[in-house]
Structure 1
Amino acid sequence: MEVNQSPLGRNERRVDADVKVTGQAVFTGDMYVSGMLHTAFKRSPHAFAKIVRIDTSEASKLPGVKRIVTGEEFPTNLGLYMGDKPVMARGVVRHYGEHVAAVIADTKKQAEAAVNLIKVEYEIKKPILSVSDALQADAELIHPDIMSYATIPAIIPQEGTNVPNLTKIRKGDIDKAFGEAAHTVKSSVSIPIGDHVAMERRAATCRITADGDVHITSSTQAPFVVKSLLGIFFNIPPGKIIVDTPFVGGGFGGKAGLQLEGLAYALSKSVGGRPVMVENSREDDMVTSPGHMGLEATVELAADSQGKLLGLRGEYNYNSGAYADYAVNISRAGAIAGTGPYRVDNVHIDSRCVYTNLPFSTAFRGFGHIEMIFAVERAMSELANKIGLDPYEIRHKNAIQPGDTTPVQSLLGRSTGNLRGCLDLVKNELGDITEVEQVDGKIRAKSIVSFWKAPAMPTNTDAGAILTFNIDGSCNINTGIIEIGQGTKTGLVQLVAETLRVETDMVHVEIGVRTRTSPTDWATAASRALMMAGSAAVEAAQDALDQMYDTAEAVLKVPKRLLDHGGGRIFEKDHPDIGLSFAEIALGYVYPDGNTIKGQIIGRGRYVAHKLTGIDPDTGQGHPDLEWTIGSHGIQVLVDPNTGIFEIERAICAMDVGKVVNPDLARGQVIGSMSMGIGYTIYEGFKFNSRGQITNENLRDHKIMRYGQQPKYDVFFLETPQLDGPYGLRGLGEPGITGMPAAISNALSRALGRPIRHIPFTPEKLAMEDHHE
C-alpha cells in the first residue's frame, strides 16, 4: 500500500463474512467432546416460594441418568458485583423459571424425561411484581440477608429493604434552583423488563481434566470475567481455568456476565469432571437467563423564563428482578449520566436497583441510558410545550459543551462530541419539528431528542494485543475482544493496516478467544471494544515497527530517522528503492552467509483507562467516565387516532463518533441499534400474570421487529476526534438505541395531544380515550 492510501474510512469486507454465510462458523452449541453428557433442569412454576421437599427417586431410575443435583449441593453464591445468586435455588425460589434441580444424562431427551419425574413441594408466597410494591415499607424482603452478600465497594445495599444498590447524585443547590424557576414540570415513565433475543441462545460446556485444568467453552462476551469469577467463587487457581469462546451469535449485553458457566462447572464436577453441555432452549433463554431491566422513573425539571435548565430532580427505580447481576451497576450508570446531555448546574438524583420476584436482569444495549434518556427527554418535551419553545430550540439551548460538567462534576474536554451539530443535522432533515399534519384521517408528527452514552466499567479496565508475523511478511493480531456481530475484528484489521501502511489482506485476525493465550481484555461490552482493543492493537503494530526499524537500521547502515515504511517495506526516505521487506525482517534478518540478527518481531500493545475514579457515595462526585458518545434522534410517525395503529415513517440518527473506520459497518451498527430500540419500544417486554408467571415466553407471543416493519433510516456521522482513541474514534455500538424510545414517545405525544409515557406503545394503549397516563 502506498503511504497515502488509508484503509480508514473505507468499506472493507468483514473478516468473518464468508464462514458465517456458508454455515462454517462454529458456535458453542456445535461443540462436541467424546463422552459429553447433557443436561435439563426442573424449573420453578412459582415466582416466590419456599422449597419444602424435592423428590428425585423416580427420576433417578431412568436409563441414561448419571446424576440429579439440587442447589443444596452447592453452597456457593455467584454474582458479578454482588454475590446474591445461588448456583441453583437453595431453600427458596425467587422468580418464575428459576432452576430447582438438574439432571445429567447421556442424552438431552433422557435428561428431559427425568426432569418430568422430579417432584417438588413448595410453600407459596405472594410475589412482589413491581418496583413500587417492592419499595413499600412493609414489603417482604426478597433477600433478608442482603447485607451479608459480598459486594464491590461501588455497590451500596440498603439494609432492611429490597434495594441492593442506591446511587446518589448531588450537585449544586437543588432547592434554590426550583425556588427561583419560572417554569417546572414533572413527568413519570415506565418500561417493562424483557429479553435480548440474541440469535444464538446461551450455551456453555465444561470438562475437568486429570491435571485439574477446568476447560470452559462458552458463548460469552466476557471470557476473562468468567475466568475470574469462577476462580473466586469456586476457589479454583486462575491459571487452571481455560475459557474458550468461539463464534458468538449476538449478545447485546446479555452474555457479558457469569451465567451458564458456573452451572456447567458445578455439574461437571458432580460427575467427576466429565464433559457437560448446558444449552438453553429459546424458552430457557427468555425465562431462566437474565433479560433487560425495567424502570419506573420520575423526572422534575426547573427552568428560567427563556428555557434554560436550572435544576433536575430524578427518581430512577430500576427493576432488577430476583438477583443483582449487572443491574446494580446499570442503576449506577443511569445516575452518572442522569441529566442527559445537558448542562444542569443543580442536580438531585436517587437511582435505585430494586429486587422484585421477576426474572433477573443483566446488561442490555444502552446499559441504563435508554431508560434514563426516555425519562429525561419526555420531561424536556413537556417543558418545551409549557414554555412554548420549539423542541429543537430547548435542546440546542441547553446542549452540554466542552468546559461543562457532568452530573458527577466531571469536566468535559475537547473530546466531547458536538451535540449542537447533531441536533442541526436532524433538524435539517425533519424541518419544522412542531408541524402536525392531517393525512386522510391520520396524523403525521415529528420529534427530536438528544442522547449520550458513556461506558460503565471498572476503573482499571484494560485491553491487550499481540502482533506476530508470517514468513511472507503478513501479520497476525490477537486480542481478547469477542466478535459478536459488531464488526470489531474487521475494525482491528483496518487500524493495524493503517499503522503498518499495508493493505488489509496483509493483516490476519484471530476470531476466537482463549484466556490462556489471548491477551487479557475486560469484556466486549460498554461500546469500548474498538476504542480500547484498537488502541492496544495500534500500539502493538507501532511496537513491531520500532523493532523492524531497529533491524533495518542495522542492515542498511542508515539512522532510523532517515527511514520510512509503507507497502510492506522499510526504506530510505531519500532513496525509496533501497530498503527491506517485512518478509525479510519479520523473523530475523538473514545475511547471505547465514548469519541472522535480531530474531522474530513480536509487537505488544496495551491500553488501560487513565485517571478514572469511583464516585463519592454521598454526592456522586468523581470521574468514572472514559468518553461520551453524543448524538440526536429524529422520528416521523403517522398515527390513526381511532385505532392507535401507527407507522414510523422515518428514523434519523446523527452521532459524533470521533472517526469512522468502516462506513458500512458503522452505519449497520447504528441502524441495528435503532431497529432494536424501535422493537423495544413498540413490541417487546414480558407480560406477567398475577402469580408472576411469564405469559409470552416464546417468539410467537414476545414480538420483535420483522423485516417489513422497518422504517426509512438515515444516519449521519460527525467526527470530533477522541483524543485518547485510536485515530480519534470512540464507541458507537450502543448509543443508537438510547434515544429511540424517547423519540417515538415524543412524536406520538405530539400527534395525539397527550403524553405517552408507558412502554410498550401498543395500538390498544394509544387508542384508549382515557389513557392511563
Structure 2
Amino acid sequence: MSLSIGKSVFRKESLEKVTGAAKYTDDYSSKDMLHIKLVVSPYAHAKVISIDSTKALEVSGIRGIIVGQPFPLTGEEIQDRPPIAYDKVRYHGEPVAAVVADTTLQAKRAAELVEVIYEQLPVVNSPKDALLPNATLVHENLAIYEKIEHVYPEANTNIADRTKIRKGCVEEGWKFSDVTVEADFSFSQSDHIAMETRCVIAEIRPDGYVVFTSATQSPYMIKKLMKDYFQLEEGKVIVNTPLVGGAYGGKVPVQLELIAYMASAAVGGRPVKLLNTREEDMITSPVHIGLDAHIKLGATKDGQLAAAEILYTFDTGAYSDKGATISRAAAVTSTGPYRIDNLKCDSLCVYTNHPYVTAYRGFGHSELLFVFERALDMLAKKLKMDPIELRMKNAILPGHTTPTQIHLNESTVGNLPNCIETLKQLMQWNEGQIIQINDRKVRAKGISCIWKTSTIDSEASSGIVLMFNRDGSVNIESGVVEIGMGTKTVLAQLLAEKLKMDINKIHVKMEVNTQIIPEHWKTVASRSTLMAGRALLKAADDVIVQLKDIASRVLMCSPDDLEVGNEMVYAKDEPDIFIKIKDICYGYKYPHGYAIGGQVIGRGQYMLRHLTHLDRETGIGRPGPEYTVGAQGVEIEFDTRDYTYKILKAYSVIDAGKVLNMKLAEGQVMGAMEMGLNLGSSETFIFNESGKVLNPRLRTYTPFRYGDHPEYIVNFVETPHVDSAYGARGLGEHGLIGMPAALANALSIASGVELNKLPLTPESIWMQKIGVNKN
C-alpha cells in the first residue's frame, strides 16, 4: 500500500501563501535600490532617427538613461534581438531606452520626457503579409545572425525557420482517399496574463558578482546567457528566484534581466528593480504565438485516415525567441493522436511586426489541435460518421509510429481509446450531440482528442541534493521553480514514499539560488516531475546506500540484509534489530569515542535519454521522451438569434500514467482547461492596420471573470510511463490544449457554420456566418 503516492497532501508552501507571508520578487527591496522605467515605441515598424534625453535628465532623482548603444544581439536559437532597440523598432511596445531613478514615479516622469524621432516603415501585419512576394523584411540581416545548429533561417525572407515532416507518400494517400476536406484556420496572438507581472532586480557587487532576483522560469539559463552575451564569468552570476506568481511559459525568456544588468552597470553597480505594470507586461514583453494554417485531410469511405497535407505559418512576431521551437513542436505532433501513414507537413516560423513570442502553456499544441480536430469534425460530417467513432477508429496505439517515425509502445503513448470511451460516458454522448431547447436556443457538444510530447533540448538535465538534519528530517534542494504547479510538494511525496517516512519530516526549499542549488534546466514543458522526480529517486538511492553502510557497521551485518523505513534502518528478517536514522544521519560515535560516517547527503541527476535532432528534409528523429494523450469535451448552450452562448460543462480525461497527488492533478488540469476556453472564446490581441495593439489592458482584453466558468469535470486513466517516477506522465499543460478545438466543434454544430477562426466571440461567429452565406 502506498504511503504517499496518490494522496492529496497539503502543499508545502500553502501556509505561506494563504497567510500572505510568501515573498515574491517585488517584495524584495533595499535602501539604495533604484528603479527602472522603459521608453517604448508607439510604432510597430520604424527607424529610430534620434533620441534626445536632455529634458528627461533634468528630472529630480534621475541616475542614468540607457539609450542608443549597439547592444549585443540576443536569442536562444537565433541572435536577432537587441535588449533595447537602437537602429529601428520592430513592434509596438519595443523598448528604445531605459530610465534609472531613485523612485518609480521619477523614472516614469523622465521616461515620458525622452524625445524619440522615428521614420515609419511599412508594417508586416500578419503571417500572410510576411510571405507575400516583395514583402517588407523585418530583418534585413537575417543571413548573418548567429544561430544554433538545426535552425534554418531563410535569407532575404521573413522565414526564421522551417520544419519539414515527411512520412509515407502523400500522393499515394490521396489515391486511397474517397473523401477529402480542405480548410484554412487562424489563431491570434494573445497574452499569458499571469497574476504576477514580470519583475527583476539586478546588482553588480564590488567583488564582481552579478546578482539577480528574478520572477523567472529559467534561472540557470540566465546564468548561461549572461556569460554568452556579456562574457561574464558564469560562476560569478547568481540568480535567486523566489516563489513566482504564475508564468505559463511567459517567464521563460531572458529579457528584462538583460536591461536590468545594463542599468546596474550604468549606475555603478547599485541594485536596480524593473517591474512591469499590467499594460507594460502585455505590450513590451513576449506573448503567445499566433497561427495561420491550411490543411487537407483524406480518408477512405469507412473513415480510415489516408493522408494529410498541412501548412502551419506561425506568427513569431518581431523576433524568433522560442517561435522556431514552437513551430517545430507543432510539426512533430502535426497529426494529433491519430495514425496517418502518409503525411506532408511544413511548419514555418515567420517574422511579423507584432510583439515577439515565447513559450505558452501547450507550446504549439493547442494551435495544431485546433486545426486538426476541426478538420476531423468536418471530415466526420462529410462521411456522415459520429465524431467519436471517427476518432476511435483512427486513435494512435502502441505499435504505431509518430509523424517523426518513432515506434510507440504502451509506455510511450498510453491508452487513448480508454480516454475516448470514458469521455463518451461522462458526456452522455449517446443522448445526442445537439438538442433543441426552445425556438432559439440549442445545447451542443463538441470533442477533441489531445496528445503532447516535449520538444526540448536533448541535453536538458535536473539535479537534486538531499541533506539530513540531526533530528532525522530531510531537506530537498531542487532547481525547479515553484510557479504554482506544486511540483516541490510532489517531490516531497516521492521521497516520503521512497524512504517510507512521514512527509511532514521532509522540508523543501522553495526559493532557487543558482550558486548553491543543482541545476534544473528550465521549469517548462510539463517536465519538472519527470526530470526532478527521477533525479530525486537517484538521490534517495544514494542516501539509502549511505544509511545502510553506517547502520551495517553499527549492527554488525551486511548492508544487503538491511531495509530503510519508518525512520529506522532495520534487519529485513529481524525488524526488532534496528537503529534510528536520527542516530546515524550525522554519522555514529561509538561509546569509546571512535566515529564513522558523517552527515548523510544524497545526490541525484537525471538527463533525458535518446533524444535527437530532426532530419532537415524528412523530420525523422526523436524530439521528446513520451506522449500524454487524452480526450476532452465541451457542452454549450447557444442562442441561434444573437449568437451568444454559455459554456455549461468542460470535460478532460487524461492518461496521467500515475496520479501522484489527486487534488494537485485536478487543479492543474482545471486551470489549464480554463485557459484553453479563454483562448477559444475571448482572449486575443486586436491589432490596427499599423500593427498597434489596441487592447493592452484587462478592461478590453477579456479573460473569464467570476461567474463565467463552466462546471469542470476531470477524470484520469493510468497507463504508467516506465521511465518516470512511479509511472507519472507530464500533466501541467494538457488540460488546455484540446479546449479551443472542442469549443469550436460544439459551436460549429450549434451555429451550423464551420468556425475556423479564433476567438469565438458572438461577433466573430456572426461574421463567419455572414462570410459563409456570401459564398
For this structure pair, what is the TM-score category when the shorter chain's length is used for normalisation? over 0.9
1:771 shift after superposition: 3.5
Task: Return the alpha-carbon distance in structure 2 between the equivalents of residues 430 and 247 of structure 1.
Answer: 38
1:273 shift after superposition: 1.2
For the residue of structure 1 that corresponds to 2:757, the secondary structure is coil
Task: Return the alpha-carbon distance in structure 2 between the equivalents of residues 769 and 661 of structure 1.
Answer: 44
For the residue of structure 2 that corresponds to 1:40, the secondary structure is strand
Task: Return the alpha-carbon distance in structure 1 between the equivalents of residues 140 and 518 of structure 2.
Answer: 40
Give 1:314's aligned residue.
Answer: 310
Give 2:55's aligned residue.
Answer: 58
Q: Which amino acid aligns with 2:386?
A: D
Runs of 4+ in 1 over 4 A off after TM superposition: none
Q: Is 1:396 the equivalent of 2:372?
A: no
Give 1:68's aligned residue.
Answer: 65
Q: Does the Cα contact within 8 Å between 1:402 and 1:412 map onto a contact in 2?
A: yes
Q: Is 1:230 the equivalent of 2:226?
A: yes
Q: Does the Cα contact within 8 Å between 1:65 and 1:106 map onto a contact in 2?
A: yes
Give 2:546's aligned residue.
Answer: 547
**Pick from 82, 89, 92: which aligns with 1:86?**
82
Q: Does the Cα contact within 8 Å between 1:634 and 1:652 map onto a contact in 2?
A: yes
**Pick from 188, 194, 212: which aligns with 2:190?**
194
1:74 shift after superposition: 4.2
Over residues 16-65 of structure 1, what are the superposed CA-to-partner deviations in whole Å (9 max), with x where a residue is unaligned?
11111111111111111331111111111111101111111111122111
Give 1:430's aligned residue.
Answer: 427
Give 1:273's aligned residue.
Answer: 269
Over residues 264-319 of structure 1, what are the superposed CA-to-partner deviations in whole Å (9 max), with x where a residue is unaligned?
11111111211111110100100000110011011111111211111111100111
Task: Return the alpha-carbon distance in structure 2 between the equivalents of residues 348 and 267 of structure 1.
Answer: 48
Q: Does the Cα contact within 8 Å between 1:765 and 1:771 map onto a contact in 2?
A: no
Q: Is 1:31 the equivalent of 2:58?
A: no
RMSD: 1.1
CA, structure 1 residues 769+755, in 2 after alignment: closer, same or farther (shift >3 Å)?
closer
Task: Return the alpha-carbon distance in structure 2 between the equivalents of residues 249 and 75 of structure 1.
Answer: 30
Task: Return the alpha-carbon distance in structure 1 between the equivalents of residues 344 and 110 of structure 2.
Answer: 54
Q: Does the Cα contact within 8 Å between 1:204 and 1:279 map onto a contact in 2?
A: yes
Task: Return the alpha-carbon distance in structure 2 between the equivalents of residues 346 and 152 of structure 1.
Answer: 30
Q: Which amino acid aligns with 1:16?
A: E
Q: Does the Cα contact within 8 Å between 1:427 and 1:448 map onto a contact in 2?
A: no
Q: Is 1:283 the equivalent of 2:279?
A: yes
Task: Return the alpha-carbon distance in structure 1 between the equivalents of residues 668 and 98 of structure 2.
Answer: 38
The aligned runs of 1:435-584 (5 Å cut-off) are 435-440=433-438, 441-584=440-583
Q: Does the Cα contact within 8 Å between 1:44 and 1:97 map onto a contact in 2?
A: yes
Q: Does the Cα contact within 8 Å between 1:9 and 1:661 map onto a contact in 2?
A: yes
Give 2:599's aligned residue.
Answer: 600
Task: Return the alpha-carbon distance in structure 1 between the equivalents of residues 195 and 516 of structure 2.
Answer: 28
Task: Return the alpha-carbon distance in structure 1 between the equivalents of residues 103 and 86 of structure 2.
Answer: 26
Q: Does the Cα contact within 8 Å between 2:296 and 2:308 map onto a contact in 1?
A: yes
Q: Which amino acid aligns with 2:436?
A: Q
Q: Is 1:41 the equivalent of 2:38?
A: yes
For the residue of structure 1 that corresponds to 2:8, the secondary structure is coil
Task: Return the alpha-carbon distance in structure 2 between the equivalents of residues 5 and 731 of structure 1.
Answer: 21
Q: Does the Cα contact within 8 Å between 1:642 and 1:767 map onto a contact in 2?
A: no
Give 2:656's aligned residue.
Answer: 657
Task: Return the alpha-carbon distance in structure 2 between the equivalents of residues 16 and 432 of structure 1.
Answer: 41
Task: Return the alpha-carbon distance in structure 1 between the equivalents of residues 771 and 199 of structure 2.
Answer: 41
Over residues 414-473 of structure 1, what are the superposed CA-to-partner deviations in whole Å (9 max), with x where a residue is unaligned?
212100000001011123365311112201111221111111210011100000000110
Q: Is 1:417 the equivalent of 2:414?
A: yes
CA, structure 1 residues 652+751, in 2 after alignment: closer, same or farther (shift >3 Å)?
same
Q: Does the Cα contact within 8 Å between 2:755 and 2:768 map onto a contact in 1?
A: no
1:769 shift after superposition: 7.5
For structure 1, which segment, 584-593 or 503-512, has the greater mean C-alpha deviation from structure 2 after superposition?
584-593
For the residue of structure 2 that corresponds to 1:574, the secondary structure is coil
Task: Return the alpha-carbon distance in structure 2 between the equivalents of residues 34 and 238 of structure 1.
Answer: 28
Task: Return the alpha-carbon distance in structure 1 between the equivalents of residues 31 and 237 of structure 2.
Answer: 20
Q: Does the Cα contact within 8 Å between 2:327 and 2:364 map onto a contact in 1?
A: yes
Q: Does the Cα contact within 8 Å between 1:74 and 1:266 map onto a contact in 2?
A: no
For the residue of structure 2 that corresponds to 1:344, the secondary structure is coil
- Number of aligned pairs? 769
The aligned runs of 1:590-669 (5 Å cut-off) are 590-669=589-668
Q: Does the Cα contact within 8 Å between 2:123 and 2:136 map onto a contact in 1?
A: no
For the residue of structure 2 that corresponds to 1:704, the secondary structure is coil
The aligned runs of 1:694-713 (5 Å cut-off) are 694-713=693-712
For the residue of structure 1 that corresponds to 2:579, the secondary structure is strand
**Pick from 162, 181, 186: which aligns with 1:185?**
181
Task: Return the alpha-carbon distance in structure 1 between the equivalents of residues 172 and 404 of structure 2.
Answer: 19
Q: Which amino acid aligns with 2:7?
A: R
Residue segments in structure 2 that go unaligned for 5+ positions in a row: none
The aligned runs of 1:271-420 (5 Å cut-off) are 271-415=267-411, 416-420=413-417
1:111 shift after superposition: 0.8
Q: Is 1:249 the equivalent of 2:245?
A: yes
Q: Which amino acid aligns with 2:113?
A: L
Task: Return the alpha-carbon distance in structure 1 between the equivalents of residues 464 and 690 of structure 2.
Answer: 50
1:768 shift after superposition: 4.3
Q: Does the Cα contact within 8 Å between 2:644 and 2:762 map onto a contact in 1?
A: yes
1:80 shift after superposition: 1.8
1:5 shift after superposition: 4.7
Give 1:122's aligned residue.
Answer: 118
Q: Does the Cα contact within 8 Å between 2:202 and 2:272 map onto a contact in 1?
A: yes
Q: Does the Cα contact within 8 Å between 1:450 and 1:632 map onto a contact in 2?
A: yes
Q: Does the Cα contact within 8 Å between 1:322 and 1:360 map onto a contact in 2?
A: yes
Q: Does the Cα contact within 8 Å between 2:98 and 2:259 map onto a contact in 1?
A: no
Q: Which amino acid aligns with 1:432?
A: W
Over residues 327-368 of structure 1, what are the superposed CA-to-partner deviations in whole Å (9 max), with x where a residue is unaligned?
111001000111101111111000011111111110000000
Task: Return the alpha-carbon distance in structure 2 between the equivalents of residues 159 and 386 of structure 1.
Answer: 42
Q: Which amino acid aligns with 1:417?
A: G
The aligned runs of 1:148-163 (5 Å cut-off) are 148-163=144-159
1:562 shift after superposition: 2.1
For the residue of structure 1 that corresponds to 2:335, the secondary structure is coil
For the residue of structure 1 that corresponds to 2:146, the secondary structure is coil
For the residue of structure 1 that corresponds to 2:262, the secondary structure is helix
Q: Which amino acid aligns with 1:55?
A: D
Q: Is 1:96 the equivalent of 2:92?
A: yes
CA, structure 1 residues 768+96, in 2 after alignment: closer, same or farther (shift >3 Å)?
closer
For the residue of structure 1 that corresponds to 2:446, the secondary structure is strand
Q: Does the Cα contact within 8 Å between 1:59 and 1:115 map onto a contact in 2?
A: yes
Q: TM-score, normalised by structure 2?
A: 0.98
The aligned runs of 1:662-741 (5 Å cut-off) are 662-741=661-740
1:565 shift after superposition: 2.0
CA, structure 1 residues 63+464, in 2 after alignment: closer, same or farther (shift >3 Å)?
same
Task: Return the alpha-carbon distance in structure 1 between the equivalents of residues 173 and 600 of structure 2.
Answer: 61
1:218 shift after superposition: 0.4
Task: Return the alpha-carbon distance in structure 2 between the equivalents of residues 69 and 149 of structure 1.
Answer: 24
Task: Return the alpha-carbon distance in structure 2 between the equivalents of residues 734 and 771 of structure 1.
Answer: 35
For the residue of structure 2 that corresponds to 1:555, the secondary structure is helix
Give 2:584's aligned residue.
Answer: 585
Residue segments in structure 1 that go unaligned for 5+ positions in a row: none
Q: Which amino acid aligns with 1:6?
A: L
Task: Return the alpha-carbon distance in structure 1 between the equivalents of residues 493 and 433 of structure 2.
Answer: 44
Q: Is 1:12 the equivalent of 2:12?
A: no
Q: Is 1:176 the equivalent of 2:172?
A: yes
